[in-house]
Amino acid sequence: MSDSFKGRFAAVLPAGGIGKRMGGTIPKQLMQLNGKPVYFYCLETFLSMDEIGQVVMAVPADWKDYFEKQIYGESGLSKILPAETLSKLTLVVGGAERWQSVRNGVSALSDQAEFVLVHDVARPFVSKEIIANVCKTLVEKGACLVAKPAVDTIKVAEDGKVEKTIDRKKVWLAQTPQAASVSLLKSLYGRIDREPLDFTPTDEASILEFFGENVFIVQGNAMNDKLTTPEDFEIFSARLATR
Mean pLDDT, residues 67-86 taken together = 88
CA atoms within 13 Å, Cβ hemisphere of 219:
2
- 156, 50 in Cβ contact below 8 A? no
User: What average pLDDT does the segment 44-52 reach?
Assistant: 96
Taking residues 90-95, report their average pLDDT: 96
Distance of CA 125 to the CA centre of its chain: 11
pTM score: 0.93
Q: Is the pLDDT of residue 61 over 80?
A: yes
Domain encompassing residue 65: 3-242
Strand partners, 179: 117, 144
Q: Which amino acid is at 233?
A: F
Which residues are CB-contacts of 175 (< 8 A; sequence separation ≥ 6)?
Answer: 123, 145, 146, 147, 148, 220, 224, 225, 226
R_g of the chain, CA atoms, integer Å: 18
For 10-23, b/e burial (b = at least 16 CB within 10 A) is bbbbbbbbebeebe
Percent of the chain's residues with pLDDT above 70: 94
Q: State the total domains in the chain.
A: 1
Q: What's the one-letter identity of residue 115?
A: F
Residues contacting residue 140 through CB under 8 Å, at least 6 positions apart: none
Contacts of 87 (CB under 8 A, 6+ apart): none
pLDDT in tens, 171-230: 999 999 999 999 999 999 999 999 999 999 999 999 999 999 999 999 999 999 999 988
98-107 and 182-194 are packed helices; what angle lies between their axes, rounded to 10 degrees? 120
| Helix (H) or strand (E) segment spanning residue 185 | helix 182-194
Residue 74: which pLDDT band, with cuts at 50, 70 and 90?
A: confident
Please check whether residue 197 is in contact with residue 189, taking contact to mean a CB–CB distance below 8 angstroms. Answer: no
Q: What percent of the chain has pLDDT over 90?
A: 82
Which CATH number does the domain housing residue 235 bear?
3.90.550.10
